Amino acid sequence: MPPSFSDFAFEARIAAQSLADSLGGLARPTLRLGVTGLSRSGKTVFITALVHALLRGARLPVFRAYAQGRIRKVTLEHQPDDAVPRFAYEEHLAALSGPDRRWPESTSRIAELRVVIEYESATSWRSGPRTLTLDIVDYPGEWLLDLSLLDKSYAEWAAEAVAACRSPGRLEGSQPFLDALAALDPFKPAGEDAARRLSELFRQALKAARVEPLSFSALPPGRFLMPGDLEGSPALTFSPLDLPPGAEPPAGSLAATMARRYEAYRSHVVRPFFRDHFARLDRQIVLVDAMAALNAGPAAVSDLEKALDDVLLSFRTGRNTMLSSLLSPRIDRVLFAATKADHLHHTSHDRLEKVLALLVDRARRRAEGLGARADVVAIASIRATREAQVRQGRDELAAIVGTPLAGEVIGGERFDGTAEAAVFPGELPEDAAKALAEAGVADYGLRFVRFRPPSVATGPDGQAGVLPHIRLDRTLEYLLGDRLT
């Protein structure tokens, strides 16, 4: 399909915004880092931990600028976009480190935070302090999956969505929606009540597919699950219909109404998000709860692989030239991070990375073919457990120790949120392909327990002390290291 005038206008607005960003960055070098991930992947915790590590001086041996003592000062400043909510760093830190020690609320809308890093150059000929402004853009991964809708007509999306609802893994949770769909004639007029009811049933089908034990990931439209400021909006009152291939719905019919609202969603929700926020990113980290998919089984693993592939297809990846940096910046580094590595013994951390590497292999090769860099890492932004050797009979077993959340049950014992427990987490197989192929079938002894945040001592200044982590320093080096040389 040839590009339309609206496509050219869309690209022109992106170029204008990019040029304004680039001219502003000439006086003050700025890096815009996108942080996303699907529900429960730990975006809010990651950003809070990253910023706290920079501000408080965590142990970061692999982050060279910090390990070499070249970072002189890190401060928070007012964010650049006044129309975007500020990431509530102080609130989230208080939740994590306060007496209640609770995980903060998940990301439900876009937010920003500006961090200014003053550092010394690693090269002798560049003397004196330098400054890098880091703008962190936090947004739900569910919104990111919507970018694939920009290249799909209503009929294409509807066919895919209905087929997904009928797939074996999702059929039970989608049955009320499918029953309502079967009772309607899409080519006849339908009132607003019918459209709203069908839309709500479709939303419930998406929600049912997301929760455990199913744990599906590729579930657009993202605003149906994470509406943000569109909660209750007419923009979300559409759904897929079961249409014959090639059929043209008559004016005034239910199908015509749904197609019109789908187009409005793409034009007024998806495109502005891409233009105003996503197209301006320089670096991107995608957080992935790979263990939840492994636990759920092969259907969830396959769906996660598709979602991650769709994610990278949405990115404008590639090597930046002088012209592209000014008019159409590319994401030149993407990092996929498997979170919650602290739920496994350290012997399985590299194996978790290999599992994630296989999941993103196709997407990774595509990004590298365009000149971008893509990598994987297994992390725990905040480490909620510690490792210990526990004797069981004559054997010494590797265990992780932490405080389970109130209500967690281990070995028939229900915990109250105050007592610690030692858990034998099991281990991933060395063969990552085998782990994916046997997901949800083979019993590797994996035990996934939800723990409270760790207890952290208060520093002399009355502020929260350093939060423990796993491989956060490696993550910082990959995302920022080359810009602090």
Instruction: Please name which of 148, 151, 376, 373 lies closest in space to residue 282, comparing C-alpha atoms.
Output: 373
Instruction: Please name which of 404, 284, 292 lies closest in space to residue 352, comparing C-alpha atoms.
Output: 292
Residues 186/241, Cβ–Cβ less than 8 Å: yes
DSSP string, 352-363: HHHHHHHHTHHH
What tokens appear for 70 in the block?
């070249």
Q: Is the dihedral of CA 122, 127, 129, 134 positive or negative?
A: negative
Residues 328/316, Cβ–Cβ less than 8 Å: yes
pLDDT of amino acid 241? 97
Instruction: Please name which of 426, 284, 262 lies closest in space to residue 360, comparing C-alpha atoms.
Output: 284
Could you read off the pLDDT tens digit of each residue along the chain, which spans 485 residues? 444 445 545 445 544 554 455 445 445 799 999 998 876 789 999 999 999 999 998 889 999 999 999 999 999 999 888 889 999 999 999 999 988 899 998 877 889 999 999 999 988 666 678 999 999 999 888 888 888 888 899 999 999 999 999 998 899 999 999 999 999 999 999 889 999 999 999 999 999 998 877 778 878 898 998 887 788 787 899 999 999 988 899 999 999 999 999 999 999 998 888 888 777 889 999 999 888 888 878 888 888 888 888 777 766 544 443 333 333 457 889 999 999 999 999 999 999 999 999 988 887 887 777 777 889 999 999 999 999 988 877 888 889 999 999 999 988 899 999 999 999 888 888 899 888 887 766 565 567 789 999 998 777 776 777 899 999 999 999 999 999 99
pLDDT of amino acid 329? 57
pLDDT of amino acid 326? 37
Q: Strand 111-120 to strand 30-37: parallel, antiparallel, or no bridges (unpaired)?
A: unpaired
What tokens appear for 17 in the block?
């915004």
Please give the distance of CA 161 from its chain centroid, rounded to a whole number: 22
Coil vs helix vs strand at 472: helix
pLDDT of amino acid 357? 93
Cβ atoms < 10 Å from Cβ of 127:
9
Instruction: Please name which of 422, 439, 335, 420 lies closest in space to residue 379, comparing C-alpha atoms.
Output: 335
Domains of the chain: 5-139+277-381+471-484 (3.40.50.300), 152-272 (no CATH)
Coil vs helix vs strand at 330: coil
pLDDT of amino acid 331? 86
| Helical residues (DSSP H) of 247-286, grouped into ranges | 254-265, 271-276
Instruction: Please name which of 375, 387, 377 lies closest in space to residue 350, comparing C-alpha atoms.
Output: 377
pLDDT of amino acid 37? 85
Strand partners, 470: 380
